[in-house]
Structure 1
Amino acid sequence: MTDGGLAEFFDDYYILGDSLTDVRNFSGIAPESPIPQFNLFFDGRFTNGLEEQGGVWTDYFTDEMDLEVASFFQGGITDGTVPIVDGINFAVGGDTTASESVSGIPNLGLNNQINQFVDLVDNNIIDNLEGDLVFNWIGANDYLIAGLNEPTTVDTPAEVQSFAEEIVGNITNSLTTLLDLGAEVVVVPNMLNLGLSPLSAGNNASETLENLTLAHNQELEISLDELQSEYPDAKIIGIDLYTFFNEIFDDFEHNDRSATETNTYGTELTPVVLDPDLFPGTFENYEAASEAAEDFLWWDSTHPTTAAHALIADYFSEIIESELIITGTSRPDSLVGANGREKISGRGGSDTISGGTGNDTIYGGRGNDLISGDEGNDSLVGDAGDDTLNGGLGNDTIKGARGNEQLFGDEGDDSLSGGSGNDTLTGASGNDTLRGSSGDDQLFGEAGNDSLTGGPGNNLLNGGLGNDTLRGGPDNDQLFGEAGNDLFIASLGNDTITGGDGQDTVKYKASSSRFRFEGTPESFTVSSRAFGVDTLTNIDFVEFRDGVFAPSDLLG
């Protein structure tokens, strides 16, 4: 991962899956498992048994970003004794995509993980999923059970396809629940080639399990595409683990046998035995086994070694970052986002950047950039250069920087902030907040009940339609209320304030006795040594600390 990448992208991480992802959850459910092999692997790690010697991909993924992710089934989350710091791991070794477990313990499976997740949301322990990543990788146990224990049920292409549709349907249902809860980014890897496992080869099931894997991956790709169309504001990332695993297969000296001999499927459960030709000592000698297993792809008959998990974690991070973080060059770039939340950086050059759907964060970088947030609640930031930033649909946050910039809120309730330079800020529709900075800025609220604040410099503020609040800066500003009942907050400098249609009020944070009034009710000056000389036109009321007055009362 690059510095400042995924570690700064998400607020929390929620992880669902099976033994390939489990970190201490199975041991929390069943400290003494019905399957002896499960007890021989400490803390639910099916890699080498020792946390300090490396775990599953989840350990590497969270350690790389210095995350503290709690294991749900170790307890303490629902009663608040275990805080949610950076997220929750729900994955349980042995779980299927429905409500079954290889362990035989009832009422587990992905359904149970989702139910626990929903309960936490319903009880406000998880407040929302905005800004979070949800990871869902499961399904291997379903296919191993069918291919090894019930091979006659997946004996024909039609049966294989039907079974894959059922399993992917279960996964899709879980994803729909997560998306309905507001998940912004969902990551779903496909299935590694189960036909490559020592267990499949030892049971003459390699072809069956490879066919199931291929059918699963094809059906999953179709389902994820359909979900992305149904939830365009979310980012659904499918990861092709099948191809990656095939690529690293030949990198391991031992890829056709396991570092230990185990079998967690079928009626005969063979004990864990270290190969005496490979490992000295007994099974308890985990450290020696872990070191020797670096050349092994498989730790047992179905689970990759921690060395393989480390590669998988790096691959997951690489793909997720490539989907979410788009970076330009020092030259002029044309960068276009897609569905869901993304971070786009133009860097140098005069770039054209479009966010697409989702809540995007876009940085222009140096150069005269043209940036559009498009759909979603976006954050747009300019940099050096004369940039044009348009929020598009949604409630956007738009910030200028150095240069003379054009900021447009467009639809939604937007927040626009100018930078140094002479900027133009336009709220457009919605109830917008516009704030100038240094420089001679022009602020236009247009439709909606807007708030406009000038800042240093000789600024022009125009509220437009709606009941607006306008504040000048410390210099000589021009303020126009236009239509609506507007409120002007007087400030330092010699300002020109024009009301327009509606009942308009100018407010001074001082007593009326400190001011001098000259002119007619239609147009008059309000002057003092502290505030300067303001010219008020078409104003209905003037508010001071000692009361609210009509212009005729002040001039009388």
Structure 2
Amino acid sequence: MQNTILTAAIFLFSFMFTLKTEAADFEQIYVFGDSFSDDGNFYKITKSELGIGIPPLPYKDGRFSNGPVWVEYLAQDIGLNPSSSTNFAVGGAKSGLYNVTLPPVPGLYLTGVLSQINKFTTVNKSVNPNALYIVWGGTNDFLYSKSAVNPSQSVTNISTAVRALATIGAKNILVTNLLNLGDLPGTRNSPTSKQLNDSVTEYNADLSKSLNSLSQQLNNVNIIFFDVNYLFKQIFANSKQYGFTNVLDSCLGNSVLITIPASPPSFDCKTNPNMFLFWDSIHPTTAGHKVIAEYAASVIKSQPILKSFNKLETSRK
């Protein structure tokens, strides 16, 4: 399976950094994003402020799915234990400062991707260079807009996030593009389906160009471009190869963009939910997340990563 990877220019003039080929050498994973990567943060905030955790059952343990999300599986795939303490993704996050949640919940106000990054860089003036940093945002910029969105601002937000992480010492940053949002169960037959896919096409192209430019500007930073759009196209075209019998409908139903509160599951959904690619009309089942993680791991392992031996030697003393 082919994949698209942007790798930063790597300069070997410094003895501090050298190339490794095993993704398992990462010591931690830090995650910034929205509901695709949220391992319970939205649930904790709404539980605290509203007294009711969202999403409710039959969503699983505060995830926007029926089980673990892709970053949790990815941690395991590369030899780490998932940690909620290093996952800052919040459901509803836009690529910028804000969240799309309506009615407004004060605790969710400044939880966009850039807000997550800003809080992180304020607390951490330097970070572990041997960690993997993941940035996936932009979906909510387009899904919850009442009019056409200019992709350039969303690209600028993600690029700003990447630069901010690099500034405090992040060396390996995985950036995910967007899947075709007009092909989701909740949007596939909507009047906005084509507009959404056109916006995603423009966004993904601009993001690739922006990250390529960043990779030329940032010394000793490895930017890994994760083409999730390509993966989903492959799943749609070869669903049985990936273990799915239904990639068009969601397990919980397609009538709304997000099923909260959840509608009663169908018989197939109750008996074999992971035959579906999608859990609700936006979010993958945990089986779908597992496929995303496996592909992400293959992308990471297919290229060199940057390691700091200075830190390793210091940690042994």
TM range (shorter): 0.7 to 0.9
Tell me if the contact between 2:186 and 2:256 (Cα under 8 Å) persists in the aligned partners. no
Matched residue, 2:142: 143
Q: Is 2:241 the partner of 1:238? A: no
Q: Which is bigger in relative contact order (C-alpha 8 A, separation at least 6)? A: 2
Tell me if the contact between 1:262 and 1:270 (Cα under 8 Å) persists in the aligned partners. no
Pick the structure with more helix per residue: 2
Q: Note the alpha carbon deviations across 1:101-122, whole angstroms, 9 max, x for none.
A: 1323322211221122113314
Q: 1:88-487, aligned counterparts within 5 Å?
A: 88-103=86-101, 104-105=104-105, 106-122=109-125, 127-146=126-145, 150=146, 153-154=147-148, 163-250=150-237, 251=239, 252-261=244-253, 265=257, 271-279=261-269, 289=270, 292-324=272-304, 341=306
1:38 counterpart letter in structure 2: P
Matched residue, 1:80: none
Q: Note the alpha carbon deviations across 1:301-354, whole angstroms, 9 max, x for none.
A: 0001111111110000000111226xxxxxxxxxxxxxxx27xxxxxxxxxxxx
1:246 counterpart letter in structure 2: K
Pick the structure with more strand per residue: 1
1:130 counterpart letter in structure 2: P
1:20 counterpart letter in structure 2: F
Tell me if the contact between 1:259 and 1:274 (Cα under 8 Å) persists in the aligned partners. no
Shift of 1:71: 2.2
Q: Note the alpha carbon deviations across 1:136-191, whole angstroms, 9 max, x for none.
A: 01111111012xxx1xx31xxxxx5xx10011111111111111111111110111
Residues 303, 108 of structure 1: alpha-carbon distance in 2 compared, 3 angstrom cutoff:
same
| Identical-pair percentage | 32
Shift of 1:221: 0.3
Distance 1:256 1:37 in 2: 25
Tell me if the contact between 2:211 and 2:223 (Cα under 8 Å) persists in the aligned partners. yes
Distance 2:262 2:49 in 1: 15
* Rg larger in structure: 1
SS at match of 2:122: helix
Distance 1:264 1:18 in 2: 19
Distance 1:44 1:229 in 2: 39
Q: Is 2:41 the partner of 1:28? A: no
Matched residue, 1:453: none
Distance 2:181 2:194 in 1: 9
Tell me if the contact between 1:32 and 1:39 (Cα under 8 Å) persists in the aligned partners. no
Shift of 1:92: 0.8
Tell me if the contact between 1:184 and 1:235 (Cα under 8 Å) persists in the aligned partners. yes
Residues 17, 5 of structure 1: alpha-carbon distance in 2 compared, 3 angstrom cutoff:
same
Distance 1:59 1:93 in 2: 16
Residues 36, 273 of structure 1: alpha-carbon distance in 2 compared, 3 angstrom cutoff:
farther
Shift of 1:36: 8.3
Tell me if the contact between 2:77 and 2:294 (Cα under 8 Å) persists in the aligned partners. no
Tell me if the contact between 2:47 and 2:53 (Cα under 8 Å) persists in the aligned partners. no
SS at match of 2:38: coil
Distance 1:32 1:16 in 2: 21
> Which range is displaced more, 187-196 or 270-279?
270-279
Q: 1:42-61, aligned counterparts within 5 Å?
A: 42-48=60-66, 54-61=67-74
TM-score w.r.t. the length of structure 1 is 0.47
SS at match of 2:117: helix
1:26 counterpart letter in structure 2: F
Distance 2:234 2:201 in 1: 16
Aligned residues: 281
SS at match of 1:46: coil
2:61 counterpart letter in structure 1: D
Shift of 1:42: 3.6
TM-score w.r.t. the length of structure 2 is 0.80
Distance 2:127 2:72 in 1: 24
Tell me if the contact between 2:26 and 2:132 (Cα under 8 Å) persists in the aligned partners. yes
Shift of 1:12: 2.3
Tell me if the contact between 2:184 and 2:248 (Cα under 8 Å) persists in the aligned partners. yes
Q: Note the alpha carbon deviations across 1:44-103, whole angstroms, 9 max, x for none.
A: 31221xxxxx4111121122345344324xxxxxxxxxxxxxxx1111111111122132
Tell me if the contact between 1:15 and 1:91 (Cα under 8 Å) persists in the aligned partners. yes
1:63 counterpart letter in structure 2: Q
Matched residue, 1:478: none
Shift of 1:200: 0.8
Matched residue, 2:9: none
1:67 counterpart letter in structure 2: L
1:256 counterpart letter in structure 2: L
Tell me if the contact between 1:19 and 1:44 (Cα under 8 Å) persists in the aligned partners. no
> Which structure 2 segments of 5+ residues have no match?
1-20
Distance 2:291 2:201 in 1: 22
Shift of 1:296: 0.8
SS at match of 1:225: helix
Shift of 1:275: 4.6
SS at match of 2:174: strand
> Which structure 1 segments of 5+ residues have no match?
49-53, 73-87, 155-159, 280-288, 326-340, 343-358, 362-376, 380-396, 398-556
Distance 2:191 2:64 in 1: 23
SS at match of 1:182: coil
Q: How large is the Cα RMSD of the aligned pairs? A: 2.8
SS at match of 1:44: coil
Residues 112, 39 of structure 1: alpha-carbon distance in 2 compared, 3 angstrom cutoff:
farther
